[in-house]
Amino acid sequence: MSDDIQDREDAQGRDDVGDRLARVALTWLAEPGTWSVYGLVDEHGAANALDLLLDGGAPDDRLRRAVAARSGAGDPLAVATEAVTRAERLGARLVTPADAEWPVQVAALRRLAGSGATGRRVDTETAPPLCFWVRGGWPLGEVLHRSVAVVGARAATSYGVHVATEFGYGLADRGWTVVSGGAFGVDAAAHRGALNAGGVTVAVLACGVDRPYPVGNHALFDRIAETGLLLSEWIPGAEPLRPRFLTRNRVIAAGTRGSVLVEAAARSGATQTLRRAYAVGRAVMAVPGPVTSAMSVGAHELLREFPEARLVAGVPHVLEEVGRLGVDLAPPPRGPSRPTDGLDDEATAVLESMPRRGVTGPDVIATRAGLDVRTALRKLALLEELRLVARREGGYAIVPPLARRAGADAGQSPSNRIWTS
């Protein structure tokens, strides 16, 4: 290898390191999701954007004040270097758009530019992530490629916990990654359901991957880190501040193929996740609940507000929304099968014409059914083969249900066909 080529490769390596550390430094100086920072990185690159901000070139006053406050507490690149070292000791890694495992679908957050209507920072600062911290062995992009978010109330009812567990288990059992926020209630139930199925689940955190919150779910987070992924935009050691939970929701919404709302009160961060999913073109689904429950209000209002939102009552409904078009279809609901389901109209008329008790002659049965005697006899023979009627001295009688069941238990089940002859 020539010296010129080696010099170029060394310079490229330094540039890559500089870009990675600059992205970390930028998410420390300004909270993730800041549009003005994302725009500077998009236009000038991360390293140049960092230099520009540190030189006082922030495009707005709020960002300028934030940069001044954070940079006064330490050198951003030193903080970034320490964060990388801390992550390596933890067994975590930094993932940037230059890495093969970067989830490209989060770029859909570009659609949220200027979409905030309230003026609150969490509603307006919705830019795509600059980098992720990942704890766990799976490639991030691979596990998010076939993923569904299951989110809902922390104060979930027993109904909500049951449904979230069933959805988490069912989706994971069918090879889908279950994504949620690691909180108490619906989130934890969905994660546990996926783990119990032996599947992959991802917890998207609003703090460092080394201090998952809530602390009460510590054992759950350890299980997720062993078999799935813990994911965060904040450097290791970052605290779980309240606004950060709403900021991270945009990643749950954009990183998955669709989001399912299991339970939510009227004011819930989980409903915000569904609104984000709708805004970036993902499938939006909600599980109905009792109209008397305060935890059903969020899901019901979502279904009323967005005509495109789909009511889902089970995993097959979810797969129909996020799976392959025309292939992953939910089976139509069916009640329990009955012995009479395969009867044609004439056989049904004969059976309905017979009294519940006693023996009736074929002539009387034919008259009641409005059929000729020959047709009635043919249908009676078929009903006898199905053990719905029995031949007796003087005619035919209905076979009681218990007798039919006893015959079936004895292995005398009739063939399962439509009786039209």
Kindly report, residue by residue over 371-394, the tens digit of the pLDDT.
999 999 999 999 998 889 999 988
Helix (H) or strand (E) holding 231: strand 229-232
Whether the per-residue pLDDT at 414 is higher than 60: the answer is: no
Residue 303 has pLDDT above 90, yes or no: yes
- In Å, how far are 149, 219, 220, 358 from 216, measured between CA atoms? 22, 8, 9, 68
- d(CA 76, CA 238) in angstroms, rounded, equals 14
H or E element that contains 21: helix 3-29
What local confidence, expressed as pLDDT, does residue 118 receive?
57
Mean pLDDT of the 58-64 span:
90
> How confident is the model over 153-171, as a mean pLDDT?
97
Element (H, E) at 221: helix 218-227
- In this prediction, residues 310-322 reach a mean pLDDT of 96
Label residue 5 by pLDDT band (50, 70, 90). very low
Measure the CA angle with vertex 236, ends 232 and 242; round to 5°. Answer: 60
pTM (2 d.p.) = 0.80
The mean-pLDDT minimum among 3-17, 72-86, 178-192 falls in 3-17
Tokens for 135, please give them. 């704890």
pLDDT of residue 7: 47
- Residue-wise DSSP of 71-111: HTTS-HHHHHHHHHHHHHHHTEEEE-TTSTT--GGGGGGGG
- φ/ψ of 337, rounded to 5, equals -75, 150
Q: pLDDT over 70 for what percent of the chain?
A: 87
Compute the average pLDDT of residues 71-78.
92
Tokens of 85: 């070292």
What pLDDT is recorded for position 14?
43
What does the radius of gyration of the chain's CA atoms come to, in whole angstroms? 31
Structural domains for the chain: 3-82 (no CATH), 110-322 (3.40.50.450), 345-409 (1.10.10.10)
Using pLDDT thresholds of 50, 70 and 90, give the confidence band for residue 15.
low
User: Looking at the DSSP assignment, which residues form a beta bridge with residue 150?
Assistant: 260
Task: Give me the chain's average pLDDT, please.
Answer: 89
Mean pLDDT of all residues in 24-36: 95
Amino acid, res. 373: V
In angstroms, what CA-CA distances link 146 with 143, 260, 384?
A: 6, 14, 52
Neighbours of 307 (CB within 10 A): 7
pLDDT at 421 (0 to 100): 38
Please tell me the predicted confidence (pLDDT) of residue 176.
Answer: 97
Q: Quick one: average pLDDT of 149-176?
A: 97
Residue 331: per-residue pLDDT: 59
Interval 186-202: pLDDT, tens: 999 999 999 999 999 99
Per-residue confidence band for 413, with pLDDT thresholds at 50, 70 and 90: very low
Q: Which range among 65-74, 163-172, 234-243, 293-302 shows the weakest confidence by mean pLDDT?
A: 65-74
Mean per-residue pLDDT for 394-417? 63
Distances (CA, A) of 208 to 84, 133, 146, 370: 12, 8, 25, 78
Q: Give the pLDDT score at 77.
A: 95
The rounded distance, in Å, linking the Cα atoms of 409 and 173 is: 33
Sign, CA torsion 210/162/273/322: positive
Angstrom distance (rounded) from CA 192 to CA 397: 55
- The two beta strands, 310-311 and 389-392, are unpaired
Beta bridge partners of 177: 147
What share of the chain has pLDDT > 90, as a percent? Answer: 75
Across the range 127-152, mean pLDDT stands at: 98
Q: Which residues, at least 6 apart from 330, have a Cβ–Cβ distance to it below 8 Å?
A: 314, 316, 317, 319, 320
